[in-house]
Amino acid sequence: MSIKFKHVSYVYAPATPFEQKGLDDVSFELKENQFIALIGHTGSGKSTLMQHFNALLQPSSGEIALAGHRITPTTKQRELKTLRQQVSLVFQFPEAQLFESTVLADIAFGPKNFGYTDAEAKKLALKWLEKVGLPKSIANKSPFELSGGQMRRVAIAGVMAYEPAILCLDEPAAGLDPKGRRMMLELFKAYQASGHTVILVTHNMDDVADYADDVLVMEHGRLLRHTTPSEIFKDRAWLLKHGLGQPAASEFAAQLAENGLPLVPQPLTLTTLTHRLVAHFKGGE
Ligand SMILES: Nc1ncnc2c1ncn2[C@@H]1O[C@H](COP(=O)(O)OP(=O)(O)O)[C@@H](O)[C@H]1O
Ligand SMILES: [Mg+2]
């Protein structure tokens, strides 16, 4: 199911001294079953945009079409209950929202809330506990006995357990160690590959290069660009101008180019960089 934003603006605390523009005339269309990276500086509007995907925030003006729903400034929240099952949003630091007495009950909460029986919800919870890389032996522990990284996984399992068609994640890997981060990202990529849409807010340009089909770049509440990772990382001057980084492989390739060894086209991932260097040295490229 495609996602379409038409001239969406959002204003926080309108007509008060605290009025603040969150989104400014944002329009785009996403194809089905893609992995989308959403990037931009702090305060650029990423989290505000994310909260529109499941109508936690409704546009101040403009409209959104997704998952068979049309969301306008006047759409009633009660009309959006089915949307919440199809589109789910994992906030930054979701571990802060755990509340059940056991890990299993916490993961099963979402599926139960969306109409699965207790037995089905438990089964799904066990399945997703394993999928996020946690041992079954912690199922009956209190989530508060776990490490921060484990709690994060429990919170994410709780959202994935009811298998939303569109999974939105706001910096889900922030603060995780590199191994934990990779495992998470691989899990989201596999989720996309099994026929879902994944929308991921990240500051990590390697994640963008390694996983994303499309990139949305936000700046001051506006959508600056909607393009592909290879397009965005091709233009170093543009990235610099907007204070955005490059993937490690591109950064390295740029330094090679400055030192007289240009690799064309520019590699975005370590895997491509390695292959290109091997080809260069072995094949006399
Ligand atoms: N609850 C809020 N009340 C008022 N302004 C907010 C609120 N949340 C975000 N903003 C403002 O909206 C703009 C976009 O913020 P946000 O969407 O959180 O950006 P990002 O997630 O990219 O850091 C910023 O100017 C921010 O200060
Ligand atoms: Mg944010």
CA atoms of 55 and 81, how far apart (whole Å): 10
* Token duo for residue 41: 């500086």
Best residue among 9, 21, 48 to mutate for probing ligand 1, ranked by most atoms within 8 Å of CB: 48
Phi and psi angles of residue 199, each rounded to the nearest 5 degrees, phi first: -120, 120
pTM for the model stands at 0.94
Instruction: Give the model's pLDDT for residue 134.
Output: 94
Q: How far is the CA of 92 from the centre of ligand 1 (A)?
A: 13
- Any idea which ligand is nearest the CA of 40? 1
The C-alpha torsion from 251 through 254 and 259 to 262, rounded to 10°, is 140
Q: How many CA atoms lie within 13 A of 257 on its CB side?
A: 14
DSSP of 12-74, one letter per residue? ESTTSTT-EEEEEEEEEEE-TT-EEEEE--TTSSHHHHHHHHTTSS--SEEEEEETTEEE-TT
- Mind listing the pLDDT tens digit of every residue in the chain (285 residues)? 689 999 999 999 999 999 999 999 999 999 999 999 999 999 999 999 999 999 999 999 999 999 999 999 999 999 998 899 899 999 988 888 888 999 999 999 999 999 999 999 999 999 999 999 999 999 999 999 999 889 999 999 999 999 999 999 999 998 888 898 999 999 999 999 999 999 999 999 999 999 999 999 999 999 999 999 999 998 889 999 999 999 999 999 989 999 999 888 889 999 999 998 998 888 765
| 199 bridge partner residues | 36, 168
Q: How far is the CA of 23 from the centre of ligand 1 (A)?
A: 9
Best residue among 8, 12, 19 to mutate for probing ligand 1, ranked by most atoms within 8 Å of CB: 12
| CA nearest to 38, candidates 26, 50, 28, 27 | 50
Instruction: Give the model's pLDDT for residue 284.
Output: 61
Instruction: Give the model's pLDDT for residue 281.
Output: 87
Beta strands in 92-173 (DSSP E): 166-170
Q: How far is the CA of 152 from the centre of ligand 1 (A)?
A: 23
Q: How far is the CA of 50 from the centre of ligand 2 (A)?
A: 9
Region of residue 96 (phi > 0: left; psi between -120 and 50: alpha; otherwise: beta): alpha
